[in-house]
Structure 1
Amino acid sequence: MHARYEIQRSDTLGRHLAAAKDLKPGETIISDEPYVLGPTSDSSLVCYNCYLPLISKFLVCKNCAVAPVCPGEGCPESLSKKCHNSTECELFRDLKLTKGVGPMTMVQNVGSLLALRAILKKETDPKAWEEFMKLETHLEERKKSNIWEYYENTVKFITSLGVLDNTQDEYIVQKVCGAIDVNSFEVRGPPIPALGYSQPLRGVYLKASLLTHDCVGNTHVSINDNNVLVCHASMDIKKGEVIYYNYTDPLKGTSLRQHHLLVGKYFKCNCDRCKDCTELGTNISSVICTECKTGYVSKSSDQQWTCHDCKKQFDHSNIEHKVQCCSDKFDVINKKNEKELEEYIRNVSKILAPNHYLLLEATQHLAGVLRDTINREPHPTKKLMRRKLQLCQELLPILEKLCPGISRTKAITLYEIHATMVQLAKKLFDSREITGTGYMDKLLNAEKYLKRALEMLFIEPGNSPEGELCAKALEEYRALKVTMNNVLDGIHAEGKTYMTTSKSE
């Protein structure tokens, strides 16, 4: 029993985590060191010691003369966690002498490094290895798929090293690969200084791997500077309730989420959102009815879609073709071009429901383009600001439903709403389109959005983009307070008393 969670078992969920006490939003549930961390199976070459990308050249470890490592002065001192430890180094040195393993062998098999390091834990940390081998592998399902053949190179490479000579299980390497695929979390690799480029990594976390999936989770997961996974409650969780994490993109439709889970996790989700054809009333996968012109058509069975208003039924292939055409069009437009994005939104809005996931994605891209334009131009127009504000405010209600409580995307959206509100209010005040009182009302409204964003961003790791945004938002909050005090002083200097007329969100 842990203070905040306990491991339970059920026929439907298997081993899973449940709340051992009432949990509040932002409360830490799990802090988990990686069992193993390493490059993905299709990774480019990285340093075996610190995982920095090795773009043009590398050295080899001076002790084992096998492992590729950073050239020049070696790994940056700021990257304190070294992965090529003394035990592995000794093994590689022995393999060089007994098996003829050299640096190019490791270069060619960098995609197998994570599986190798997981297997080496069998000897160095047998207790953790035992827990790792309890993880779900979906071995039988994998045998019937292309992934089995894909990992045959990893099987041959690790078997050739002789580290499994005393193991009777002929499928041990495939089981390890399965456990990694099904249970790992994506981790940001260290960026190359000045370039910012990094190679994504994967980490297996033994506690976090027991988080049960739901397309509307009740947790928020982040991985900090030291690759420690921290799981917070994103909303109130009552004692005894299952602790859920959403392993998919919440702003994708059910068919895409289901496909992602089936391919990567080997199960079909049956959560409340997946069972609801309207996806909790958002109609994020729906299209506009061509019969009544006003109703939304959602998938009612494997082969049929039905309009909620006129009840007209449509063949699945017909609707799928329409959505695919809209998706294909989105793939080829320039997503950094304001006019192309606006045209795309205008055109597909005649086909797709207003909150369709393709429209939401286009909306996010357009909001980003407008943000960059507003920040870049010395005198951005009010029209640009109002359009960006409209886009963010259209996105927010969807996020409230699909990502209730603490949400990374929601925090960024709230921050962007505040930033544009402040910029627009200043422009209106400077052009004397609003009075000091009106200016103060708008600043107070912006402050509400900023406070909500900060409440969510505070739990983000400092080295992450969201952590950096938190630091920026704090500075902007202080600046906003100074501006508000100056506006109040101006109102008082005119002999007036400020009485807020702003409405809560």
Structure 2
Amino acid sequence: MGDKCAECGEPAELKCSACKLVSYCGKEHQKKDWKNHKAVCRPFEILEDPVLGKCLVATRDIKPGDIVMAEYPLVYGPRPHMVEEGPVPCPGCCRLIIAEGSPRCEGCDFPICHPGCEGLRDMDRHGHECMILGLRDVKAINGLHDFYRQDALLTLRCLLLQNRHPKKFEQIMGMMEHMDRRGKNTEVYKDIDSRIADYLIDNFFAPMKILEGRTGKQALHDISRETIHKICGVIDVNGLEVNMDAEVSALYPTAYLMEHNCLPNTTHIFDKNGYKITVKAALPINTGEHISTMYTHCLWGTQARREHLRETKYFDCKCVRCSDPTELGSYLSALKCIGTDDEPCGGTQLPLDPTNDETQWTCDKCPVKLTNAEVSYLVNGIGEEVDNVQLSNPTVRELESLLNKMLTFLHPNHYHVYSVKHSLIQLYGRWTLRRSYLANIRCVQAV
């Protein structure tokens, strides 16, 4: 049986050239239907893979630079900062502010960036949640600790969709959350239960139920502990991080279905006005190929990427890049062999099988071998030192000293080395500008 025209239902041979999913009997009916079709016209379709689950598969050849999709988030909110002090996000615009001494929202008493912040009056951002946040007993909350539960704000915003935007709420509840890996006996369940579920139920939903009993009106239909855990799982597994003028986590209606690959065939940008995401092809994508993105930092080494994916996305990556000991010739995870008898051999140490957690690391010039656990201990220790130094507002001399020490153990292309070199380049630039500025000042004084 042939295809039928989307406009009149008659036999049709003309297909939409963009998505290849809709047919027409002629150009006139194609033009007539465009107003309806353009909202769903995309160069891919959503298919069910027995291993991956739902995924995006190209319905036509896509060239590098072509737009694959562009969409606004279903919901977004402040990305959590797991600290007990420091800046917190304004609930209206998500920009980071200092809570102590900042103005407060008149409705809920949360710290805000400015009383005129537009997001405070937007019902889809802070306006609706403000009424619930204002129910808490401020006296029962210890100091400023209350304002560091930013991940609870995004969870609350998801719950609030069930009344204002039920279709969006249904979409979120249909996303993968891996509750089979986040059950009651897991550490992540216990953490979410005390840090978010108890916090929302005890401080906001309990007084809300009392108020509902008095008014006879129900604010939210489903505020069960199970639903809270499911939403937290959905956010952890599917949320995209947006770093612009604010630090935001967002859930998108389709973009979340892009699968991970350490060599992704797409790239994406965000628009700070509503956090619209635009996904473009970074590589040629042929008809039938899966559309992919990257869930980790592209400059992390294989161990770091695979560990992050295992802990947050619940799968072991075995892509082409992860399977290659040299990471396709980049040597981002390679070590410098220290040799035997205190004599460096100048060799490079690489894992025999990067996707095996029990693999050995061998030198290409001498018989020295290391276990994967020993390498992890060394690399994680160096990573902690790099983080501590970079957070301490280091000088050029301090970073150069750290770099020289690292190069005793790490390949010049190692990702920790690149991180320090990146910081040095920024400092060199400031140092050069400062010298130029001072030289100009001296010239002016001399005149």
1:45-96 per-residue CA deviation (whole Å, 9 max, x = no partner) reads 54433334363233434xxx33647476511xxx5x6674189756865896
Alpha carbons of structure 1 residues 131 and 67: separation in structure 2 relative to 1, 3 Å: farther
Supply the distance in 2 between the matched residues of 1:72 and 1:215 (Cα, whole angstroms): 41
Q: How many residues align?
A: 363
**2:55–2:259: 8 Å Cα contact kept in structure 1?**
yes
Q: Please, which of 329, 332, 351 is the counterpart of residue 299 of structure 1?
A: 351
Alpha carbons of structure 1 residues 155 and 231: separation in structure 2 relative to 1, 3 Å: same
The DSSP-based 3-state class of the residue aligned with 1:16 is strand
Supply the distance in 2 between the matched residues of 1:111 and 1:30 (Cα, whole angstroms): 27
**1:7–1:15: 8 Å Cα contact kept in structure 2?**
yes
1:106-150 per-residue CA deviation (whole Å, 9 max, x = no partner) reads 857554111111111122222222221121111121224322122
Q: Which residue of 1 aligns with 2:94?
A: 51
Cα drift, residue 211 of structure 1: 1.1
Alpha carbons of structure 1 residues 243 and 312: separation in structure 2 relative to 1, 3 Å: same
Q: Please, which of 420, 436, 443 is the counterpart of residue 362 of structure 1?
A: 420
Q: Please, which of 241, 252, 259 is the counterpart of residue 212 of structure 1?
A: 259
Q: Please, which of 186, 193, 198 is the counterpart of residue 241 of structure 2?
A: 186
**How does 1:51-90 map onto structure 2 within 5 Å?**
51-52=94-95, 53=97, 55=99, 56-61=101-106, 65-66=107-108, 68=110, 70=112, 73-75=115-117, 84-85=122-123, 89=127
Q: Which residue of 1 aligns with 2:75?
A: 36
The DSSP-based 3-state class of the residue aligned with 1:58 is coil
Cα drift, residue 189 of structure 1: 6.3
Cα drift, residue 380 of structure 1: 11
Alpha carbons of structure 1 residues 283 and 111: separation in structure 2 relative to 1, 3 Å: closer
Letter in 2 for 1:138: H
Higher relative helix content: 1
Letter in 1 for 2:433: N
Q: Which residue of 1 aligns with 2:370?
A: 314
**1:373–1:380: 8 Å Cα contact kept in structure 2?**
no
Cα drift, residue 345 of structure 1: 3.0
Whether 1:147 aligns to 2:191 is: no
Cα drift, residue 17 of structure 1: 1.2
Supply the distance in 1 between the matched residues of 2:427 and 2:433 (Cα, whole angstroms): 10
**How does 1:205-244 map onto structure 2 within 5 Å?**
205-226=252-273, 227-244=275-292
Q: Please, which of 164, 170, 173 is the counterpart of residue 133 of structure 1?
A: 173
**2:162–2:169: 8 Å Cα contact kept in structure 1?**
yes
1:215-234 per-residue CA deviation (whole Å, 9 max, x = no partner) reads 11111122112111111111
Alpha carbons of structure 1 residues 108 and 42: separation in structure 2 relative to 1, 3 Å: closer
**2:43–2:59: 8 Å Cα contact kept in structure 1?**
yes
Letter in 1 for 2:108: V
Supply the distance in 2 between the matched residues of 1:94 and 1:311 (Cα, whole angstroms): 65
Q: Which residue of 1 aligns with 2:323?
A: 275
**2:265–2:291: 8 Å Cα contact kept in structure 1?**
yes
Q: Please, which of 37, 45, 49 is the counterpart of residue 6 of structure 1?
A: 45
Supply the distance in 1 between the matched residues of 2:336 and 2:125 (Cα, whole angstroms): 62
The DSSP-based 3-state class of the residue aligned with 1:66 is coil
Q: Please, which of 291, 307, 327 is the counterpart of residue 259 of structure 1?
A: 307
Q: Which residue of 1 aligns with 2:59?
A: 20
Supply the distance in 2 between the matched residues of 1:201 and 1:39 (Cα, whole angstroms): 5
Supply the distance in 2 between the matched residues of 1:202 and 1:128 (Cα, whole angstroms): 16
Supply the distance in 1 between the matched residues of 2:130 and 2:424 (Cα, whole angstroms): 51
Q: Could you tell me the TM-score, scaled by structure 1's length?
A: 0.63
The DSSP-based 3-state class of the residue aligned with 1:151 is helix
Supply the distance in 2 between the matched residues of 1:211 and 1:6 (Cα, whole angstroms): 11
Q: Could you tell me the TM-score, scaled by structure 2's length?
A: 0.71
Alpha carbons of structure 1 residues 72 and 337: separation in structure 2 relative to 1, 3 Å: closer
Letter in 1 for 2:91: Y
Alpha carbons of structure 1 residues 320 and 261: separation in structure 2 relative to 1, 3 Å: closer
1:234-278 per-residue CA deviation (whole Å, 9 max, x = no partner) reads 122112211111111121111111111122222221111111122
**2:345–2:366: 8 Å Cα contact kept in structure 1?**
no
Q: Which residue of 2 aligns with 1:489?
A: none
Q: Please, which of 224, 232, 246 is the counterpart of residue 177 of structure 1?
A: 232
**1:60–1:103: 8 Å Cα contact kept in structure 2?**
no
The DSSP-based 3-state class of the residue aligned with 1:256 is helix
The DSSP-based 3-state class of the residue aligned with 2:181 is helix
Letter in 2 for 1:316: N
The DSSP-based 3-state class of the residue aligned with 2:180 is helix
**How does 1:290-439 map onto structure 2 within 5 Å?**
290=339, 293-301=345-353, 302-310=358-366, 312-324=368-380, 326-327=382-383, 329-331=385-387, 333=389, 336-378=394-436
Supply the distance in 1 between the matched residues of 2:125 and 2:232 (Cα, whole angstroms): 22
The DSSP-based 3-state class of the residue aligned with 2:197 is helix
Q: Which residue of 2 aligns with 1:286?
A: 334
Letter in 1 for 2:165: D
Supply the distance in 1 between the matched residues of 2:383 and 2:130 (Cα, whole angstroms): 48
Alpha carbons of structure 1 residues 380 and 374: separation in structure 2 relative to 1, 3 Å: farther
1:360-406 per-residue CA deviation (whole Å, 9 max, x = no partner) reads 2222122222222223322999xxxxxxxxxxxxxxxxxxxxxxxxx
**1:374–1:380: 8 Å Cα contact kept in structure 2?**
no
Q: Which residue of 2 aligns with 1:118?
A: 158
Cα drift, residue 15 of structure 1: 0.7
Bigger CA drift: 317-326 or 143-152?
317-326
Alpha carbons of structure 1 residues 112 and 331: separation in structure 2 relative to 1, 3 Å: closer
The DSSP-based 3-state class of the residue aligned with 1:221 is strand
**2:78–2:153: 8 Å Cα contact kept in structure 1?**
yes
